[in-house]
Chain A
């Protein structure tokens, strides 16, 4: 495990930089990579400055932050539940967020209130699942997972109901939100800050997470205070997911697939996997969002469709190739 962690992270960081420069450059008016770098250095024409700094860069950064948050949240949930099928949404988080956002949209509210309402919904869903799973008995991963899945199904029904009774003119916006859309995103900086903070937190927590992945009893026997660590992971993963969902609606698949792809290639040392998830998840979503903007330009596709279309074959290929 003392293998250099730097090399894979450096490669992923380079890939994400390239993806971001490409994403900022490509669009209705192209900006060459050289010009993108020039604008970022403070040069370039006025048009290019506006295009890059005000229109495209915030969206690209928001996509990066969303993808990174979802992938890290997924990796954390998989360690917490010791279940490879866990993803940030499995505990009904996105359902709660969606109900919150759609309620605000039905009421004809927009902008900040939709985001705030989604965030509140996500946190409510988290508390609900945790409270119910805890119940009077013990808190086991399978119980938590089952509670989450059932609560998620409940949210799903509420969402369908809301769509069915909503006025027709509000439906496109609501559907787009459900499919995930980065163009709703506002300032990317809080999310990016959170992502960076988590990556730093992982340095001291990483080895304990590795031990926890061997099961709670084994972890306790090796000196890990299991319950506080599990709480930390749960709260952290929920916060990350809620932030991501609030920024970009529910984008499936990133949180499930990115951690697994990286594990197949890099092994399962959380100190490497978690920062790698931040970079790879971000890169995947930046690329997906770029494609979503250009494939049927000037129309846009929901980015969730692209992540799934890119992710499914890549994942299946890696799984097929692996031992």
Chain B
């Protein structure tokens, strides 16, 4: 697989100085978490890494090539993105929604085959939404829709997963199930790069972290080096208590 690489990347947030340019490589097998307060540019960064927006400076590379040299179709065969919000202008069923994940792999003249449908159904089962296959997506709950969106990218089967708040709307059990699924993906040689709001989920499931500060500063590296209480307190502008549970640090906001 081609590793995703940010080279001297500056994301374009209006009225913000360039700050620290991002320069990192998401290697196969790694699970990256992006942490930062609201408006720090997490979603913008994901969109830039997916080639959907232009950075202010720098480039994003997929293997040897920069994203701008590649066709959208080639990118979509290697990169999958779970959006934070999704629009469905026209009603579609859950199965139809998952099946569009096969789009990058089919030529314009091909119809979806039984094999494509099998892949989509398998993905829906993995995300525990197979029983909703024939329901219209707009009739589902927020958490169910979130799982359908993840199943769509699982159907797409990219080498690199980009996810914007994948645990949004999910109950505790499904949060863990989704993060477990992403860990499995990484173990099988793919890579995962996701924005997370929950510091503790990030501490428990990510092996690399990128901290985005609102002023454009950033730091990144192996999770255990990034999870410094002082840095996290500065990141969120929030005092934290740290305890260790089950071998992982647990951060609790200080109550005044």
Contact = CB atoms under 8 A, between A and B. Distances in A.
A201 B103 CA distance: 18
A224 to B, nearest CB: 6
Interface in B108-140: 108-109, 111-114, 116-117, 136, 139
Interface residues of A, number: 31
A217 B52 contact: yes
Contacts of A267: 92-93, 96
A221 B90 contact: no
Question: Which size bracket describes the interface of B in this complex?
Answer: 35 or more
Interface string A119-147: 00000000000000000000000000000
Contacts of B101: 222
B99 A1 contact: yes
Contacts of A225: 71-73
A223 B103 contact: yes
B83 A2 contact: no
A82 B47 CA distance: 21
Given A210-B100, A221-B52, A268 B72 contact: no
Contacts of A210: 100
A226 B103 CA distance: 14
Contact of A218 (B86, B112, B117): B86
Contacts of A263: 90
A83 interface: yes
Contacts of A84: 89-90
Interface string A248-263: 0000000000000001
Interface stretch (B5-13, B16-24, B74-82, B222-230): B74-82
A172 interface: no
A263 B106 CA distance: 24
A205 B99 CA distance: 16
Given A82-B89, A210-B100, A213-B89, A221 B50 contact: yes
Contacts of A213: 89-90, 92
Contacts of B103: 207-208, 211, 222-224
Given A214-B92, A225-B73, 7 more contacts: A1-B99, A1-B112, A83-B89, A205-B108, A217-B83, A218-B87, A267-B96
15 contacts: A1-B112, A203-B109, A207-B106, A207-B108, A214-B88, A214-B97, A218-B87, A220-B52, A221-B79, A222-B104, A223-B71, A223-B72, A224-B103, A267-B93, A268-B92
Interface of A: 1-2, 78, 82-84, 203-205, 207-208, 210-211, 213-215, 217-218, 220-226, 263, 267-269, 271, 323
Lowest 7 A-B CB distances belong to which pairs?
Answer: A223-B76, A204-B108, A82-B89, A223-B73, A223-B104, A221-B81, A215-B87
